[in-house]
C-alpha cells in the first residue's frame, strides 16, 4: 500500500485503494455471513468434534431473537 503512494500521485493511489476495497469487501462479507449461519447451525457438531463443553448448556441458553 505504501508503495502505491510512493510510485503514484496521492489521488490516484487513494483511487486504487478504494477500488481494491470495493472488489474485495463483498466476498469477505458474504463469507462472514455464511460462516456465522454455518457455525450457529452446526454448533453442537463443532463442539463435539473439538471435544469441548459449552460454558452454558445448549438447552439452557437464552438466545435473543433478532
Each residue's pLDDT, cut to its tens digit, for the chain (66 residues) gives: 678 778 888 899 899 889 988 888 888 888 999 999 999 999 888 888 988 866 666 665 565 654
* DSSP conformation class of 42: T
Compute the distance between CA of residue 43 and CA of residue 52 in angstroms, rounded to an integer: 11
Beta-carbon contacts of 61 under 8 Å, excluding residues fewer than 6 positions away, are: 54
pLDDT at 39: 92
Assess contact for 8 and 16: CB atoms under 8 A. Answer: yes
- Delimit the domains of the chain by residue range: 2-53
CA 22, distance to chain mean position in Å, is 16
Amino acid at each position: 500500500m505504501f508503495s502505491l503512494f510512493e510510485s503514484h500521485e496521492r489521488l490516484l493511489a487513494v483511487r486504487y485503494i478504494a477500488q481494491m476495497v470495493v472488489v474485495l469487501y463483498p466476498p469477505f462479507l458474504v463469507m462472514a455471513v455464511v460462516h456465522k449461519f454455518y457455525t450457529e447451525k452446526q454448533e453442537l457438531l463443532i463442539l463435539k468434534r473439538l471435544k469441548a463443553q459449552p460454558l452454558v448448556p445448549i438447552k439452557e441458553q437464552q438466545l435473543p431473537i433478532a
